Amino acid sequence: MSGIEVRNLTKRYGSLTAVDDLSFTVRPGAITAFLGPNGAGKTTTMRMMIDHVAPTCGSVTIGGRRYRDIPRPTTVVGAVFDAASFHPQHSAKDHLSIYAAMGRYPSGRVDDLLGLLGLAGAAGRRTGGFSTGMRQRLNLATALLGNPRVLLLDEPSNGLDPQGMAWLRSFLRDLADEGRTILVSSHVLSEVQQIADDVVVIGQGRLLTAASFRELSGTTQDVLVRTPDATELHPILSRQAQRVDATGPQGLRVRGLDPAQIGDLATAHGLRIHGLATEHRSLEDLFLDLTGERTDA
């Protein structure tokens, strides 16, 4: 199984530490969202995975081996880091044919991927006239030439319209369901929330959280409490909750306790509750809280 193991990975450029003692796992059969603010070190980390950038210390293994030690590594790992890595005068089919020849892949793989990626009708067009979304599809087709078990995708939804994004979600889900390991860096958190099985968040090169989306969903909900005893209940809940905020003279927003726990605490102290409602927070809210971006803004 070709999972990814990142262990104590660090990258320094002089006095600047771009990645700082980073450790996490990307498991097969899942889509892992790799999140962080601009400059957090996401792209540097992904490039270290395939030896495009040499780490200062630490290691990355894919299926237990370093990328450099994998025979024919493009049959194991496919990577997409930008949307302009092909000659503008070549057609889409020319581009894929060149890479297929370089990788010693069957020529029939080219037509298969053009069809699979929705580019069959544009196979003879020069790539210089492609939209950003079409470039993204062509780069993804290039990464899939070797039928790899691992995909590293840096902002793959850039330039895609809503229909293209829906197609990408379905496409990546199908690949993950085949048992492939997929790491996706993205700023479109509403899209990530719809496809991610696991989430890794970094900030300033350091790990902030790494968990399954199901585990995180327990921290992405608040309980709205309506009570005439808000002043008395606030400090009681604060001793056990992650966070308690007043929403008015008779309202509290509680994070880290479920409705039953809140009700039990109120009852134990003889305080009244007139209403409890669960409000789910989005992945974007969690991201902003973890990275401090909301405060910075």
pLDDT tens-place string over residues 252-289: 999 888 899 999 999 999 999 999 998 776 666 777 77
Q: Which H or E element spans position 173?
A: helix 162-177
Do 15 and 56 fall into the same domain?
Answer: yes
Region of 143 (left: φ > 0; alpha: ψ -120 to 50; beta: rest) is alpha
**Cα distance between residue 104 and residue 111, in whole Å:** 15
The mean per-residue pLDDT over the stretch 185-212 comes to 86
Helix (H) or strand (E) holding 209: strand 206-212
Beta carbons of 207 and 23 less than 8 angstroms apart:
yes
Q: How many domains does the chain fold into?
A: 2
Q: Span 90-116, mean pLDDT?
A: 93
pLDDT of residue 86: 75
58-82 pLDDT, tens digit each: 999 999 999 999 999 999 999 998 7
**Residues 160, 86 share a domain:** yes
**Statement to judge: residues 105 and 57 lie in one domain:** yes
Same domain, 163 and 266: no
> What is the pLDDT at residue 265?
96
Residue 194 and residue 70 share a domain = yes
Query: What pLDDT shows up at residue 237?
Result: 96
Q: Say if 289 falls within a structural domain.
A: no
Last residue of a domain, one of 213, 243, 266: 213
Mean pLDDT estimate for the chain: 89
Residue 15, helix vs strand vs coil: coil
**pLDDT tier at 127, thresholds 50, 70, 90:** confident
Confidence at residue 294, expressed as pLDDT on a 0 to 100 scale: 42
Same domain, 19 and 85: yes
Same domain membership, residue 254 and residue 187? no
Q: Which of 191, 213, 235 is the last residue of a domain?
A: 213
Query: Does 267 map to a domain?
Result: yes
150 sits in the region (left: phi over 0; alpha: psi -120 to 50; else beta) called beta
Query: Considering the domain boundaries, does residue 291 fall inside one?
Result: no
pTM: 0.77
Identify the pLDDT of residue 220. Answer: 61
CATH number of the structural domain spanning residue 134: 3.40.50.300
Mean pLDDT of 11-24: 96
Range of the domain at 275: 221-280
For residue 84, name the pLDDT band (cuts at 50, 70, 90). low
Q: Do 194 and 81 lie in a common domain? A: yes
CA distance 184 to 171: 13
Q: Which of the residue ranges 125-134, 141-150, 212-221 has the most confident prediction, judged by mean pLDDT?
A: 141-150
Going by C-alpha positions, the residue among 70, 59, 1, 65 that lies closest to residue 30 is 1
**If 0-12 CB within 10 Å is exposed, 13-18 middle and 19+ buried, where does residue 135 land?**
buried
Q: Are residues 233 and 144 in the same domain?
A: no
pLDDT recorded at residue 48: 97
Same domain, 108 and 183: yes
Other beta carbons within 10 angstroms of residue 297's beta carbon come to 6
**Judgement on whether residues 39 and 185 belong to the same structural domain of the protein:** yes
User: What's phi and psi for 108, nearest 5 deg?
Assistant: -65, -20
What b/e string do you get for 140-177 counting C-beta neighbours within 10 Å, with b at 16 or more?
bbbbbbbebbbbbbbbbbebbeeebbebbbebbeebbe
Does residue 129 contact residue 122 with C-beta atoms inside 8 Å? no
CATH number at residue 251: 3.30.70.100
How many CB atoms within 10 Å of residue 185?
23
Q: Is the dihedral of CA 138, 182, 39, 243 positive or negative?
A: positive
Per the domain annotation, does 287 fall within a domain?
no
Q: Clarify whether residues 35 and 16 are in a common domain.
A: yes
* Helix ranges, 181-223 (H): 189-195, 213-217
